[in-house]
A and B are shown apart, each in its own frame.
Chain A
Amino acid sequence: MTRIKTLVSGAALAALASPAFADAIAGGAQKQATNWTAIAMFAVFVVFTLGITYWAAKRTRSAAQFYTAGGGITGFQNGLAIAGDYMSAASFLGISGLVYTSGFDGLIYSVGWLVGWPIVTFLIAEPLRNLGKFTFADVASFRFKQAPIRVMAACGTLVTVAFYLIAQMVGAGSLIKLLFGLDYAYAVICVGVLMIVYVTFGGMVATTWVQIIKACLLLAGATFMAFMVLWQFGFSPEALFAKAVDVHPKHLAIMQPGSLINSPLSAISLGLALMFGTAGLPHILMRFFTVADAKAARKSVFYATGFIGYFYILTFIIGFGAIVLVSTNPDFLNPALVAAGKNGIEAIRGGNNMAAIDLAGAVGGNVFLGFISAVAFATILAVVSGLTLAGASAISHDLYATVMKRGQANEQDEIRVSKIATLILGVIAVVLGILFEKQNVAFMVGLAFSIAASCNFPVLLMSMMWRGMTTRGAVYGGFMGLMSALVGVIFSPAVWEATLGNPKGSALFQISNPALFSMSIAFLGIYIVSKLDRSKRAQRDREGFDAQYVRSQTGIGAAGASAH
């Protein structure tokens, strides 16, 4: 319980990942006996996806193929892939684990994590598709001086990707140690190597298909679990809730808000980061360039919203199912903790993040438990692949091809740089993953979302919507957002007190997430600096708006849209 509280008051958005990885991150995951069923099923997944990578490699020749699968993904497929990027191991295990310990509070995160999607649909998806080619920096820099905006966008991308990637890697290592009984270092290396293979050989085609397959497996597995739980209660949620309230030590308190959100200011700030961070995540934004046109982009977010919403409702049922079927079954409890007088919820085998995995065992036996474990591993693999591809694209397309070579880079060279960047990012991710094994990295996902919401999103939105923005305004505003998000997180209770070990109450900002302030700073910075900008360049920036606006609205001249 104390863990949940620190986590929540502190790690803010990190709660997205942190409940899942709380044990992992604390380095507390104990190694389990080697689970051969799970390993066999995972091996099948790996062989199958490597087959896809081989097939994809043969058709990945051009830069467009490598970055965006040549724009040949349909709206429905892209919807599944986006949902796959979003349904990470953190949201699957973390939210069901949070429902398991606290009931209603888990729902608050599900809701926050979903509501960014409609906003993306309404305001971003179509103009983004019409303006962009490979990365969101294509859009953000459309009518501006290329080098400064690209450098800023690449910084925003790489910082977001790096923090997200470290958190995923550390989580992956511990989770796999727990699920498969593999050594932490082997698990991290295994994830790193597979991810490098997928991305370098198969590019976006392979990354997308790995994501789609995993999304289908995860949706099918979660559906089966929720079905089995409800079936035991004659498909009456009321009966399920009644039994859960009866056996949970907190009783009726699990049906109402607990201690998750205490101050309205914190709540709103967290809400902003959740909502608009989604609209600034580079690996998600990149997915919009894999479809043919604005219409397909619009459709894909609709499907994604449906899948993600459905999935969150399932995790809610799964969490309650675990309360009833796992916490009452001694087979799934840690005998040492039971002997120490812990209740069923606290004594769950492997920690609360294992609620969904243990429930799989309870409703489907050991084979199904192996299946869900393999799916959890596949999930991590697919998410880190997407992240790495986004980071590598920022290096090769934005920094190398546009800034260093001033847009004159040879396409094959650009792809080569991208593959080298993937390799380097992969190695860095593995090394940092191993270095951070025992560290608390929960705040890193929160940081990634805050930066996405405070740097990437404001620049992107203003560049598309506001004629008055200038190069100088975008660069100053973007960096101010990035820095203020960084400073806000470092001096927040989660990092300053919980991670760096300073005394309680000494953090400069007693707010869990800086988004409310850092987003305002970014928007104000862009507005004021642009307004004061009287340079020649500023005039050209503003004059460029008409051409950009027409293209963003109609798609005239858009990449791939008219490639028939």
Chain B
Amino acid sequence: MAASALDIERNPKFKQLVAARKSLGWTLSVIMLLIYFGFILLVAFNKDLGNFLGTPLYSGAVATVGIVIGLLVIISAFVLTGIYVVKANKRYDELTRQIVEESR
């Protein structure tokens, strides 16, 4: 390998890659944490919230708001992961390839 680690770290493309990865990774992590702990707190405080999660989905329905929210949390985990993979495939791999190329 021709370039040292410090050289690579000075490469603007490396800085770009790191910045992109950090902002996307942490943003999505925080969103996931908020969704999940939001759900857990809704469950924990359900009684104080007047059984919000047990509210019928529409008048006369047996399905409740809680069931739909639970399923949405499951789907959101998949969707967020999907967003990450699409964005990462688009940006990281090309940038990484260029950095590796330039460090030879």
**Residues of A with Cβ closer than 8 Å to B?**
104, 107-108, 110-112, 114-115, 117-119, 121-123, 126, 237-238, 241-242, 245, 252, 255-257, 260-264, 267-268, 271, 275, 294-295, 298-299, 301-302, 305-306, 309, 312-313, 316, 546-547, 549-551, 553-557
Contacts and interface: CB of A to CB of B under 8 A. Distances in A.
A264 B44 CA distance: 5
Interface residues on B, range: 35 or more
B62 A301 contact: no
A264 B77 contact: no
Main SS of chain B's interface residues? helix
Contact of B78 (A112, A122, A237, A305): A305
Nearest to B21: A553
Interface in B26-60: 26, 28-29, 32-33, 35-37, 39-41, 43-46, 51, 53-54
Interface string B1-23: 10001101100001001100100
Contacts of A238: 61-63
Given A238-B63, A554-B100, 15 more contacts: A107-B66, A107-B71, A114-B74, A119-B32, A119-B33, A123-B26, A126-B92, A257-B66, A260-B43, A264-B45, A294-B96, A301-B81, A302-B81, A305-B77, A555-B100
Given A111-B74, A255-B67, A256-B51, A264 B81 contact: no
Given A121-B85, A256-B46, A275-B36, A115 B77 contact: yes
Contacts of A267: 40-41, 43-44
Contacts of A261: 40, 43-44
Main SS of chain A's interface residues? helix
Contacts, number: 162
A555 to B, nearest CB: 7
Interface string B65-104: 0110011011101101110110011001100100110010
Contacts of A123: 25-26, 29
B12 to A, nearest CB: 14
Contacts of A551: 5
Contact of B44 (A121, A263, A305): A263
Contact of A271 (B40, B61, B67, B80): B40
B9 A122 contact: no
Q: Which of A117, A260, A263 has the most CB of B within 10 A?
A: A117
A253 to B, nearest CB: 8
Given A261-B43, A298-B88, A299-B85, A118 B77 contact: yes
Contacts of A268: 37, 40-41
A556 B3 CA distance: 11
A256 B63 CA distance: 9
Contacts of A316: 71
Nearest to B93: A295
Nearest to A465: B22
Nearest to A265: B44
Contacts of B32: 115, 118-119, 122
Contacts of B17: 553-554
A265 B96 CA distance: 42
Contact of A111 (B33, B39, B64): B39
Contacts of B78: 305-306, 309
A428 B15 CA distance: 50
Contacts of A237: 63
Nearest to B71: A313
Contacts of B24: 122
A280 B43 CA distance: 26
A556 B8 CA distance: 10
26 contacts: A104-B67, A107-B71, A108-B70, A118-B29, A118-B77, A121-B84, A123-B25, A126-B92, A238-B61, A255-B64, A256-B66, A257-B43, A257-B66, A263-B44, A267-B40, A268-B40, A298-B85, A302-B81, A302-B82, A305-B78, A309-B78, A313-B74, A550-B5, A553-B21, A553-B96, A555-B100
